Structure 1
C-alpha cells in the first residue's frame, strides 16, 4: 500500500543528546527554550508549553510498503547550495523512523554542517558517526566524531599534515578500529596549481597516521574530466576524492568524482594497483559499466563493487546519461574485464549531479540516498520500490543510511504543561530514545507529591502532546515507558503554567 504521511508544518521535537544541545565542535550545552511557543507566536496563536527548542525538518513519506528492512533512517539535512534559507526549520543530523517521525536531532550551528551521518561499529559496539565543519566549493574542513548509544562523544578524528583538514565525503571505521578519512590539499603538479586527494588511515585513539596515499602519486591531472576553473580560478580540483573502503583483501578502494574512476591502493605501501573506469581504465569496460561523476564505491567481496553512478555532473560538464543509478559490477582481474551485474534507478529517473550513496541492507534490500534531490528510497533485490521519502524543498542530504539502532540517552526526559480549563496540556520529549513507546503523566500539588494521572499516551514524535485531567495539579512529571510498560526514565517535576 502506498501512503502519504506528510506532516503539517514542523514536528515539535525533544532536546539534543542527554537533554542538551550541541555546540559547533560537538560539545553539549543546555538550551531550555521553547519551540512550540515560538512557532505559535509566529503564527499569531496563543503560546503553548513546550519541552524543547529544536525545529527539525519533516520528511514527506511518499511510498511505504511491506518487506522493508528493520531500522531507523540516518540523514543530515542541509540547505541546497543556492537555495533560500528556511526560517522555520533547522538543519542537522537526524534519526527518523520509516514513518518520518524524528527520534534524534542535533542541529547545525552557525556555518557548520553535519555530513555522512550513519551507524558504524567501534570496539565491537554500535556507534553513530558524522563529520562536522564548513563547506567550500564542494569540499570541507572539519572533524569526524564518534558517539556512543547514550550520544556521548567518545572520539574525535582529524586529518594530519600540513595544509590539510578532514573532508566531509567519507569517514569509515574499519574492522581494525582504525579510521579511513579523506582530505584535499592544495599543491602543484609541475607548475600547475592543483588540489590533490589525500587518503589517510588513522589510529582512532591516538589520531596517528598509519597509512597515507596522495592522488598525484599515480593519477595525473590529465585524467580529469572536470573543466579547469569550474570550482576555483586559483587551483584545479582535478581528482575530488569522495569515498574509501577496505576491499576483502585488506587493500583500499578509493573513488574520485572528477576522474570518473575508482582505484585500488595497496594498504601498506600506497602503491596504485589498478584503476577502474575513466581515461585508460585497466579493465575493458563491458556494456553498461561506464560511470561518471560517481560516489560511494563499496566492495561487496569476490570482485564485486557497488557504485553510485551520478551519470551527470555540474552544469556544463560532460554527461553519460539522464538518470543516476546504483550499479554493481564484477571485475575479472586476470582477464582484465568488468561486467554489469545490476543497476537501480529511481522510478522518477532522478539525475543528481552531486552527492548520493547506495547501501546494501542485511536482508538484501538496497537503500539509496539520491543526493541533491533530497530523496531517499528502499528497494528489494529485484528492484521493487518499498519506501520513498523526500526532505522539504530547498534541503538535501549528502547521504542517507538505514540501520538498526538503540539509543539510550543518559539525560532525563523533559516536560512542560499548561492548564486549559479542566485539562492539562502536556508536552513530553526525550531526544534520542528509540525505546519509548508511551508516556504517562504524574501530577500533584508539589514536586514531591505526584501520582499517575490519566491513561498512557502513545509516543507520536520526539515531542508528544497529550492531555490529562487537571484537578488541583500544580506540578507535573512524565514517565517514559517501553513496549512492555516498563518505566525507562522519569522527568524532573515542572510547575504547571497557566
Structure 2
C-alpha cells in the first residue's frame, strides 16, 4: 500500500495529510480586513460556536489595529437587531483582539453593559427588558459581581418604568437613571390637539442600597415644546404620544448638579441639583454660548452620551448628525466631539473631532468614551462598528461586528460600545469537551487564565475517587482565544482533568475529574463555521483520492492483461 501511495499525485498526498485542516482549531481568530465579511457573504451578523461551551460569539472583522489598543482592557457592548438571534443578544465582553471573553443569556434584550465601581468593588451593570416602546424601554437594571453572580436588580421609583438609556453610578453610592412617562399636553403650538399627549423625559437619582428616590427632574417643566426639532407628524394621542425631548444621558458633578443630553432639542444642559432649574444650555434653539469655532461647537444634532472632562472644562458627545424619522440629516456622517466650554465667559470651542475612516452616518444611538490613556472609544450605535482613536483623532483600531453592507438597516446594532478594565473570576468550573482524542477547554468569563495544564491520575484507594486521585502533569498549553485545543496522548491514566493557571502559575480552577474510559474519544459533533468552510476542500480531496485509487487499479489491471497476452515492456535498446 505504501508503494501505491507514492504513485499518487503530489496534490493527492497533500490532501491525505491535511484533509482535517478545517477542524484544526478550537475556535477561529477574527477576520482581518475581509471584504467578504463586509459584503455580507458570511451573513449580516457572523457568529461562531464552540465545542466546549454553548455560548454564541460574534465573529468580528478587524479593519485596522494598533498596539495602543491592546492595553489589557475589555470591550463591552450589547448586540441586537433583526439579524441577531435571541441566543446571541446577551451582553458581550471581548478582549482587545476581538476574542470572546464572556456572555450570558436569559435576560432577553439587554443594553448598556458597563463596569462600574460601588463601595470599592467593581460590578458589571446593564439594562434588561422590553425595548420596543417608541425607542424607549421598560425593564430593570442588573448588577453582577466579578463572579458573574447577580447581586441586585433595580427599578425606577414612583412606579415608573425603568428606561434603557442610562444607568450610571455616582461616587456617593447612588445611581442615575432615565424614565419616560406619558403626560397630557397642549400641542396646538405644533399644530396638534389641545388635548394631546407627550412622552415626558425624566431622570431620577436613587440610592443603590435602598432604592429610595433622592431627586427627580421632568423635561416638560423646564423646556418648551417649541424647542423640539422632532416633527409631530401623526403623533400626539394617548396611544401614540409625541416625544419632544428624548433624554439619553445623565451625569452628576461634585457640586451636585447634572449634565444631561436631549436628542430632540439638540442640547446639552446643566441642571441645578436642588431646584431643577436650567443653569445653561449648549446647542439647540436656546443655546447660551458664543461659538468660537464658527458654529462647529454648537451645531450638533440628535446627539448622545454627553460627559464632563478636563476638570469640568470640556464636554464629549457622540454627534449623530442625522435623525431616523424622516432622515433629517444635518451632516453627511456622524462624529464624536470634544468641546471646550468656559462657563464664566459662556464660550464654546471645538477641541477635537473623531471621524471614522468610512465616515459612518448613524441615525440613532452611539457613544464616546475618553479612556484613561487619552484614547477615545467610539461606538456607532445603529451601525455595527466601533473605533478607537488616538487623542488627536487618528484612527488606531477599527472593528465591525456586522456586515458594512447592512449598515443603516438596523440588522445589527449596539446602543453603546465601551471599554473597561475588568477582572472576571467565574464561580463555575471550566468547560471541557473531548472529540477524537482532542480536548477543548473554555471558561466563560475568566480573564485571568494564562495556561491550561492537562493532568492525569489514578486512585489511591477505593473510597471516593475524586478526593483520592494522585495527579501528575502531562503537558501545558497556553490559552488561545476563548477555547483552547489540547491533543490527548495515548498513555493516560484512568482519570484526567485540566487545570487553569494564572500568569504567576497559580491554580485558579479546574475541570471536574473524568474517567478516561468514559470519554468518547471518537465522538461526533455539530459542524462549526470552520468545518463548513472546509467542506468544499474535503470534498475535493475525497474526489481526488478516489480518482487516484481507481486510476492506480486500472493501470495495474491493464498491465496484467497485457502481460497475459504476451506483451512486454520495451526498453530504449529495443527501439
| Deviation of 1:453 (Å) | 5.4
- Tell me what 1:462 maps to: 482
Cα displacement (A) at 1:444: 4.6
Matched, 1:405 2:422: yes
Matched, 1:194 2:204: no
Q: Which residue of 1 aligns with 2:446?
A: 433
Deviates more, 1:59-68 or 1:446-455: 446-455
Is the CA contact 2:457–2:493 (under 8 Å) kept in the aligned structure 1?
A: yes
Q: Summarize the Cα distance change of 1:334–1:483 in structure 2 as closer, same or farther, 3 Å threshold.
A: closer
* Structure-to-structure mapping, 1:222-371, within 5 angstroms: 222-229=226-233, 234-286=240-292, 287=294, 288-289=296-297, 290-300=299-309, 301-371=311-381
- 1:63 Cα deviation from its structure 2 partner: 1.2
CA distance in 2: counterparts of 1:84 and 1:117, whole angstroms: 20
The 8 Å contact of residues 352 and 392 in structure 2, kept in 1 or not, is answered as no
Query: Whole-Å Cα distance in 2 between the matches of residues 367 and 78 of structure 1?
Result: 17
* TM-fit CA distance, 1:51: 2.8
- 1:122-161 aligned within 5 A: 122-136=118-132, 137-161=134-158
Aligned counterpart, 1:72 = 73
State the secondary structure of the residue aligned to 1:67: helix
How many Å separate the matches in 2 of 1:243 and 1:141? 16
Instruction: Kindly report the root-mean-square deviation, in angstroms, between the aligned alpha carbons of the 2 structures.
Output: 2.4
Q: Say if 1:135 and 1:205 are closer, same or farther in 2 by CA, change over 3 A.
A: same
- Give the Cα–Cα distance (whole angstroms) in 1 for the partners of residues 254 and 348 of structure 2: 18
Tell me if structure 1 keeps the 8 A contact 2:455–2:475.
Answer: no
Instruction: Establish whether residue 166 from structure 1 lines up as the match of residue 170 from structure 2.
Output: no
Query: C-alpha deviations, 1:148-207, integer Å up to 9, x for none?
Result: 211122222211124x21111111100101000001001112322000111000000110
Can you give the 5+ residue segments of structure 1 that lack an aligned partner in the other structure?
13-35, 37-49
Q: Would you say the 8 A contact 1:133–1:143 is kept in 2?
A: yes
Change (3 A) 1:10 1:194: closer
Residue 203 of structure 1 corresponds to 207
- 1:71 Cα offset (Å): 3.4
Separation (CA, whole Å) in 2 of partners of 1:146 and 1:107:
15
Structure 2 unmatched ranges of 5 or more = 1-29, 187-194, 404-410, 460-464, 522-575
1:3, distance to aligned residue in structure 2 (A): 8.7
Paired residues of 1:248 and 1:302 also in contact (CA < 8 A): no
Contact kept in structure 2, 1:415 and 1:429, CA below 8 Å: yes
Aligned to 2:540: none
Q: Are 1:443 and 2:444 an aligned pair?
A: no
Distance 1:484 1:438 in 2: 10
Q: Deviations over 1:288-315 (max 9, x none)?
A: 0111000000011333111111111114
* Offset at residue 249 of structure 1 (A): 3.1
Give the C-alpha shift of residue 276 in structure 1. 1.4
**SS of 1:216's equivalent?**
helix
Q: CA deviation at 1:230?
A: 7.1
The residue matched to 1:372 in structure 2 has which SS? coil
Measure the CA separation in 2 of the matches of 1:65 and 1:95.
19
Larger radius of gyration: 2
Structure-1 separation of matches of 2:230 and 2:379: 23
SS of corresponding position for 1:351: coil
TM-score of the superposed pair, with normalisation by structure 2: 0.74
Deviates more, 1:443-452 or 1:194-203: 443-452
User: 1:70, 1:404 within 8 Å by CA — same for their partners in 2?
Assistant: no
Q: 1:140 to 1:320 in 2, by over 3 A?
A: same
In structure 1, the partner of 2:89 is 91
TM-score normalised by the chain length of structure 1: 0.85
The match for 1:497 is 520
- Cα distance in 2, alignment partners of residues 485 and 11 from structure 1: 30
| Change beyond 3 A, Cα 1:55–1:193 | same
In structure 1, the residue matched to 2:102 is 104
Higher strand content, 1 or 2: 1
Instruction: Give the structure with the higher percent helix.
Output: 2
For the 8 Å contact 1:245–1:298, the answer to whether it is kept is: yes
